[in-house]
Amino acid sequence: MEKAEVRNQTPIVEFILLGFGNVPELQTLLFLVFLVIYIVTVSGNILFVALVVADQQLHIPMYFLLGNLSCLEICYTSAILPRLLASLLTGDRTISVKGCIVQLYFFGMLTNTENLLLTAMSYDRYLAICNPLRYAALMNGRVCWQLVAGSWISSLLLCTIVNIFFFQLTFCDSKEIDHFFCDFSPMIKLSCVDTQTLELLTFIIAVIGTFVPFLLTLTSYICIITTILRIPSSIGRQKAFSTCSSHLIVLAILYVTVLTVYVIPTANTPKVLQKIFSVFYTVLTPMINPVIYSLRNKEVKESLRKAILKLVCTILRLSSATGKQKSFSICSSHLMVVAAFYGTLTIVYVLPNNDTLGDLNKVGSVFNMVLTPLLNPLIYHLRNWEEKEALRKRLSEFVLCTRMQTL
């Protein structure tokens, strides 16, 4: 209760996320970097999920779990990056207390779900290497669904319990959070009331959701490595290890960065270094995960190669120039709209804002806000045969009805 007595008791309703400082030139650069990372992350994970769904050869437990992990990574990065991008673009760093708690809720839930999914994947690798004869019976479709559903539901329940207590807190004294997203430790320091119960509850849930899965994963890989070392041939050992090497890399990156941020004492650790490690496990890990799994898995590379070849051959197999032209015309309208949209956005928000480009920025803004909505329907109508034909029929019917009425 001493904490509540020494602080200013005026409750606050919003926080200020300090992010990465207030240097204007750095904000533009960071916006572009994080925008590219977000686009690559979402696109890469969607592509991975599409490959797993489309290719029958990838309909096995390992890739089922990987597909769920990719879906989680899309949600995970979307819980943090859009708010960060808006802050970098507009300069508005404020976020409501409720909005901050909601972001913390999704961050905690998705982080805990990721730990459990990675543990399920380590169990899958353990069965595949240590019990290959019973693998199909032990790791069937029903078990896979149970593992995935259990990961999501348990994380949802655990984080909901924490959030119920979090919503009862009041915050005062300072609005500033020296971070780029709403994390537990920076927020708890701004509370006016006693937080010992909440901190103890969070510690227990963190042990259940993080430390226990870590021990299970460690135990699985001790058994896996022991089994691999017993294989007599070097080719057999290499083949067995290659099936879990990608998972090991992802685990190492995740746990090293998480341990650096949350376990190593932070009193003497610079804030900038903590933010860099936080960026690594919240932003970069979801981006590189599909790359790691794609580059180190022969099945995924083969599936991606087949998909690309199928797309290219579909267009190139068309014997006539008319057929190729018709195939390209399907997406030409969309390409024109995309080029006009991103071209004007680049002129307005990315090019340096100085006096010589002031008029050009105004012209680009007018084009983006006024002319683009005007041109979009014209582009899609004039370059699509179906719409032109439908418009021609409607006009003919209108003219015919008008003539009949006059008669």
CATH of the domain at 93: 1.20.1070.10
User: What value does the mean pLDDT take over residues 360-380?
Assistant: 62
Contact 281, 258 (CB under 8 A): yes
Contact 77, 329 (CB under 8 A): no
- Mean pLDDT check: name the lowest of 22-31, 118-127, 232-241, 313-322: 313-322
The percent of the chain in helix, strand and coil, each rounded to the nearest 5, is 80, 5, 20
Q: Are residues 245 and 355 in the same domain?
A: no
Tokens of 147: 């593992």
Contact 148, 65 (CB under 8 A): yes
User: How many CA atoms lie less than 13 Å away from 285 in the CB half-sphere?
Assistant: 25
Range of the domain at 386: 319-406
Tell me how far apart the alpha carbons of residues 120 and 140 are, in angstroms, rounded to a whole number. 13
Give me the percent of the chain exceeding a pLDDT of 70.
75
Q: Are residues 374 and 249 in the same domain?
A: no
Tell me how far apart the alpha carbons of residues 65 and 187 are, in angstroms, rounded to a whole number. 33
Q: Which of 334, 342, 341 is nearest to 379 (CA)?
A: 334
User: What value does the mean pLDDT take over residues 390-400?
Assistant: 73
Which H/E stretch holds residue 402?
helix 385-406
pLDDT band at 3 (very low <50, low <70, confident <90, very high): very low
Angle between helices 81-90 and 24-54 (to 10 degrees): 150
Q: Concatenated DSSP letters for 294-320?
A: HHT-HHHHHHHHHHHHHHHHHHHT--S
Tell me how far apart the alpha carbons of residues 278 and 170 are, in angstroms, rounded to a whole number. 26
Domain boundary among 264, 295, 312: 312
The C-alpha torsion from 342 through 346 and 349 to 353, rounded to 10°, is: -160
184/143: higher pLDDT: 143
Average of per-residue pLDDT values in the chain: 78
Q: Which residues have C-beta within 8 Å of that of residue 280, sequence separation ≥ 6? A: 253, 257
Domain boundary among 295, 312, 329: 312
The pTM score is 0.72
| CA 242 distance to own-chain centroid | 26
| pLDDT of res. 4 | 43
Q: What does the pLDDT look like over 26-84, one tens digit per residue?
A: 888 888 989 999 999 998 899 888 888 888 888 888 889 989 999 999 999 999 998 88
Q: Are residues 241 and 106 in the same domain?
A: yes
Give all strands of the β-sheet with 94-96 in edge-to-edge order: 94-96, 14-17, 176-177
| pLDDT of res. 241 | 78
105 pLDDT above the threshold of 80:
yes
343 pLDDT above the threshold of 70:
no
Q: Are residues 226 and 326 in the same domain?
A: no
Q: Which residues have C-beta within 8 Å of that of residue 182, sequence separation ≥ 6? A: 15, 17, 95, 100, 101, 103, 104, 107
Total number of domains constituting the chain:
2
Domain boundary among 312, 331, 365: 312
pLDDT band at 345 (very low <50, low <70, confident <90, very high): low
Q: Are residues 32 and 58 in the same domain?
A: yes
Q: Which of 127, 150, 154 is nearest to 139 (CA)?
A: 127
Tell me how far apart the alpha carbons of residues 237 and 239 are, in angstroms, rounded to a whole number. 6
150 pLDDT above the threshold of 80:
yes
